[in-house]
Amino acid sequence: MNPNDLLLLAGLILGGVHFGVPLVYYAYLKRTWLPRTWDIKKDPGYTPRISIIIPTYLAARHISKRLDNIAGQNYPLGRLEVIVVDSASPDGTANIVERWIKTHPEFKVKLIVETKRSGKFEAVARALRHISKDSDIIVLTDDDCLWDSNALMRIASYFSDSSVAAATGSIRYLGDDGVHNAYRDLYNQIRIAESKWWSTPVHNGPLLALRKEVIEKIGLPTLPGADDSAFASYTAFAGYRAIQADDAWVYEYPARDQHKRMIRRATHLVIYFTNLKKYAKKNGVYVKSPFDKIWNIEAYLHTINPLILLIAGVILSLLAVWGNSITLILLGLATVLLVYKPYRAWMTSQLYLLIGLIRAFTVKQETWPRPKLLQR
């Protein structure tokens, strides 16, 4: 074999691994786990006391609608409280919330105003100190999403099973051009299948419910970039179930700068996948469970697998530049395939992760510019 053929072989093997591993994993999840019924006892009439935390920064445009949406939930309102933590937003968010509270005296909403902006995590940590003692479930949400009117009731039903410590909603994008929802559909299926198997490591900001008792016992991970997924998986490392519900729907608008937003989320995920397991072990929280397998695969898919694509891409591009016709055809095919939505969504997500990998080691992500939403 001449060196070029060896390089070609290496490029093809790496490409095969990059696409093969997730495809095999996806096929396995879809065949084996997705069709199963939940092995979780869901009591649809279970109505624990819930504290909903909404961190806000520059939320004047969304917050009234957000509070209306929560007040419109099919859930006994007497068993809900809402805590809004605003980081001194200069757009009058706090005033709007105060007015909303005055016009809805039947609804328990607390407003906490910080003196300066130190990020979502800080705000959530502060809110936790203000939740009622008798509350059972902590729900984290964003100011700019919406819940289906049954979302809270359905999420709550999973907590009637004492093995569940975290449950997140399934996301749909409103007013979408296609590629974001193609990406969402695929990931919703994967997360739900992983949840039926045992637990999923990726959870969603628009709706994440956590069992308070467990959080009080094990604490919240405070590593940099820790977010919704880190909170949920920390409970999974402690041996509990952390699942995505297939019947609790939440809605989000894609952002005008959706790419930037996806890069930030990818950066958070990279930091999270490279640190949380070590962190859980160091803190004595970790116990062995089926979550390990799922975690290892997803950690690989979020960190090493995109690098393998990059290396394969570099090798094949070099060969193409050197005039190797097979690689030229292959790269042409790979480009033409971009018209196929799921493939395009996949390639875009790999790009986000690669940028996230670089950013994870260079930038801190505690605060970020609020995305402008494509609200129609």
Residues of this chain that interact with ligand GDD (CB under 6 A) are 55-57, 59, 85-87, 117, 119-120, 123, 142-144, 204-205, 227-228, 261, 264-265, 268, 367, 370-371
By C-beta, is 144 or 227 nearer to Mn ion?
A: 144
On the 0-12 / 13-18 / 19+ scale of CB atoms within 10 A, 183 is: buried
Q: Which does 120 bind (CB under 5 to 8 A by kind): Mn ion, ligand GDD, none?
A: ligand GDD
145: three-class secondary structure by DSSP: coil
Name the region of 172 (left: φ>0; alpha: ψ -120 to 50; beta: rest). beta
Element (H, E) at 242: strand 241-252
* Of positions 81, 86, 136, 144, contacts Mn ion by CB under 5 A: 144
First to last CA, the chain: 59
By C-beta, is 195 or 324 nearer to ligand GDD?
A: 195
Q: Which does 182 bind (CB under 5 to 8 A by kind): ligand GDD, Mn ion, none?
A: none
**Nearest-10 crossing angle of helices 3-28, 291-321:** 150
8-state DSSP, 200: -
Q: Which does 370 bind (CB under 5 to 8 A by kind): Mn ion, ligand GDD, none?
A: ligand GDD
Q: Does 228 bind Mn ion (CB under 5 A)?
A: no
By C-beta, is 11 or 206 nearer to ligand GDD?
A: 206
User: Residue 249 pairs with which residues in a beta bridge?
Assistant: 170
Amino acid identity, residue 312? A
Number of residues that bind Mn ion (CB under 5 A): 2
Q: Which does 81 bind (CB under 5 to 8 A by kind): ligand GDD, Mn ion, none?
A: none
Binding piece for Mn ion, criterion CB under 5 A, among 140-148, 176-184, 187-195, 307-315: 140-148
Distance (Å, rounded) from C-alpha 205 to C-alpha 273?
A: 17
Q: How far is the CB of 266 from Mn ion (least distance, A)?
A: 15
Q: Tokens standing for 113?
A: 């105003």
Q: How far is the CB of 371 from ligand GDD (least distance, A)?
A: 5
Q: Does 227 bind Mn ion (CB under 5 A)?
A: no
Q: What counts of helices (H) and strands (E) characterise the chain?
A: 12, 8
Q: How far is the CB of 259 from Mn ion (least distance, A)?
A: 15
Q: How far is the CB of 13 from ligand GDD (least distance, A)?
A: 35
Distance (Å, rounded) from C-alpha 166 to C-alpha 187?
A: 18
Residue 209: which of 49, 371, 44 has the closest Cα?
A: 49
**43 phi/psi in degrees, rounded to 5:** -105, 105
By C-beta, is 18 or 370 nearer to Mn ion?
A: 370
Tokens 């003692």 belong to: 133
CA atoms in the 13 A half-sphere facing the CB of 69: 22
Q: How far is the CB of 118 from ligand GDD (least distance, A)?
A: 7
Q: Which does 268 bind (CB under 5 to 8 A by kind): ligand GDD, Mn ion, none?
A: ligand GDD
* Of positions 81, 86, 136, 142, contacts Mn ion by CB under 5 A: 142
Q: Catalog residues that contact Mn ion under the rule CB under 5 A.
A: 142, 144
